[in-house]
Amino acid sequence: MFREIGEEALVGGLVGGFHGLTITAGLVGGGHIVLWQQRDGDVLTDVWFRAYDFDGKPTGEAFILLNDYLGLQYPRDLDVVALPDGGFAVAAFRALSLNEYGQAATHDIALQLFDGNGVARNAPVSVTNGHESFASAPDLTISSNRLIVTYQQGDIYGRTFDMSGNPVTEIYTLGSRGRTDNGDGTFTYTSSTDPVVAGLPGSRFVAAFTYNAQTAHDQSQSSIVARLFTKDGTPITAAFGVNTTTFGNQQLPQIVVLQNDDFIIMWTDSSTGTHMLRGQRFDASGQPVGAELALAETLSTSTTYSGWSATSLDNGGFALSWYYGPTVYVREFNEVGLPVRDPTPVSNSNGYDPWISSVQGGGYVIAWEGSKIRAQLFVEDKTLSGTGENDWLSGGYGADILDGLAGDDQLFGSRGDDRLIGRAGNDALTGGAGYDRMYGGTGDDTYFVNDADDYAYELVGEGRDHVVSSVDHQLRVNVEDLTLTGAASIGKGNVSDNVIVGSAAANKLYGYAGDDTLSGAEGDDVLLGAEGNDTLTGGAGYDRMYGGIGNDTFVVGDLADYAYENLGEGYDTVFTSINHQLRPNIEQLVLDGFSDLRGYGNALDNMMIGNSGNNLLYGKDGADTIRAGLGNDILYGENGTDYLYGGSGLDRFYGGAGADLFAFENLDFAGMGSGTADRIHDFSHAQGDRISLELVDANSNVGFDQAFTFVGSAAFSNVAGQLRYQQISGNTYVQGDTDGDGKADFWIRIDGLHALAATDFIL
């Protein structure tokens, strides 16, 4: 059973003036619209419009949709149908000119298309193509991307249009008048009135109308007749009687198509003097299913469409609304026509002429007239369970319970305060709007959060779980990962090792305890790792990254990014693809990528590592360790006892003040010439500088790593592993023979003349 959501809505209307004959439609994509007739001072009435969102809240003010269209026509000379793209179409009686009595002199049925906000997409199109006689009672439906408009103009007619409002057929006849000679000097006159139409699967539609048979002695016999057609108006079946049990005054049919493609034709039964609602169910081929239905026992004395209406429901059933006395009622039925709700008053004050329409998500809306135009939205609280396979379950507007059971399930709460239960499997749970509770269960689950009141729950050991949130969010315990989307700006972790990714907005991301990975993405972000060994990536924008306690890693990709640490908060590292200087209390800098970059240390004992480009690395103060990369790098130890390691390129070394170590490894030497060899610019015996070759294999002819033998300035003697120096043109060159051929296999240039000793090396 459905329940009211929110308060009765005041839609519009005039105080003391004419307004009425409401009609509604639920839009594809959500929300609904209300149309009604209202006069603005002249003889013709206008069609007014107002749109509402999922929750029954207006999206704007009411306004005139069709100006000076109707001459206060009964029955309801206006119909609306929702379009697949979220818009709607309106068919209406249109008075083109008036006679001296204020009645329509020329007129037609007009069709016009609008978007969901009531903005016209096309000019009105005349359905009737003429004004010879009175046309009225338009009705609309959709079949296989075709709009079908029916109306009465003596006979019952129809015409088919495309979804842009262009006619694709001429006018065709659905039901006609006739006269039969009874053989006793009397005649039986037949006519068809009150046409309604509904789209069916297979590019078909069903039309129903009141069939009147009148003689000179009996002017009141009428019945309900229906017929199936293709979408272009070609008959599929012969006309067939609908009311086969009740006879007399049967009139004013309406049709609802159920979720299983059966349809029910309903009508007003006035044969007993009291108006009742009856119905007959048919399958999609037009065959009757079951007996005639008694749907509502008492109606008002209204004999027009405005007295009652019906709609199909997403749960497979249907609902009726009518007024009796000054009160609007609703009653719900299941798919076989059995009532599941007693007649229930809807209006809080006097209400007349209700119109009911289903809305996307499983609810329905009823609008009616009284002192003003009012409406009430209803929702259904669903309980749905999966099959144990990979299920897709969707809630509606109500407070739904969706239980996926086993399998990799997709659960969608939609609107309302929902409870989603994934259980076993890697499930995807989307709360939607409302106060939702989502329980993933075992498996690696993903939660899509769109409301600040949504919560994702997991127990210990139930997998690695992920929240994708379009609003600010803090992870609950045992949920590991968070991704912000849209305008969401704040993301907070928990005690787990979280991965938190920001949105394009200016984010604030908090890791808290655990070894967290925080990524700011776009925007000017603030990232706070707090406790644990965290990895913080600023991304694009002006980012501020605070590692906190633990050995943290910062990934810097923008000149405006800054990494902050306090004293004693661990050993921290910056990875950067741009020029960068370490801020205080950060120990290590690693250059990334292939660009030619500069890196600067600070007062700490820094570790600095180059990339594949040509780098300049500056240690600043402290006992720094600086490693060249693959390019031609220049290393500056500056102050302190520094360790400078060459790379595979042509590297240059400036130790600066302090007892510095210049270190080389296998395959890290450049050329063997004054301009191509690796170069030490400021080697100093006095400061205690040394050259380390302990990671270079002195003898390539035997296994493992052999130490060099220093022979001073003596020539090589064809013994592998000899190390010597030579002074050439004012500079000193260190040379090593690693294969015993008596020739140097590598050179190191030292600027200036130095008398080197074995103590100058780590061999």
DSSP codes of every residue in 421-446 = E--SS--EEE--SSS-EEE--SS--E
Taking CA atoms, 465 is separated from 114, 146, 388, in Å, by: 44, 45, 20
**Would you list the domain boundaries of the chain?**
177-299
- Choose among 167, 219, 169, 174: nearest CA to 193: 174
d(CA 327, CA 149): 32
Query: Is residue 185 classed exposed, middle or buried when 0-12, 13-18 and 19+ CB atoms within 10 A define those classes?
Result: exposed
CA–CA distance, 177 with 212 (Å, rounded to integer) = 9
What does the alpha-carbon distance between residue 574 and residue 553 come to, in Å, rounded to a whole number?
6
Could you give the CA distance from residue 594 to residue 176 in angstroms, rounded to a whole number?
Answer: 83
Q: Distance between CA 497 and CA 14 in Å, rounded?
A: 62
Order of all β-strands in the sheet with 187-200: 178-181, 187-200, 204-214, 222-230, 240-241
From residue 533, give the alpha-carbon distance in Å to each of 274, 494, 554, 605, 650. 80, 14, 11, 20, 36
pLDDT at 418: 92
Report the alpha-carbon angle 439-445-446, nearest 5.
95
412-440 residue pLDDT tens:
998 789 999 999 999 999 998 889 999 99
Per-residue pLDDT tens over the stretch 496-507: 999 999 999 999
pLDDT at 307: 82
**What are the CA-CA distances from residue 154 to residues 161, 174, 192 (Å)?**
22, 11, 8
DSSP per-residue string spanning 632-698: --EEE--SSS-EEE--SS--EEE--SS--EEEEETT----SSTTTSEEES---TTTT-EEEEEES-S
Paired tokens of 665 = 């490894």
Which of the residues in the chain have pLDDT under 50?
72, 181, 186-189, 215-219, 300-303, 305
- What kind and span of H or E run contains 255? strand 250-257
Q: Pull the structure tokens for residue 40.
A: 């603005």
Give the position of tokens 């925007």.
523
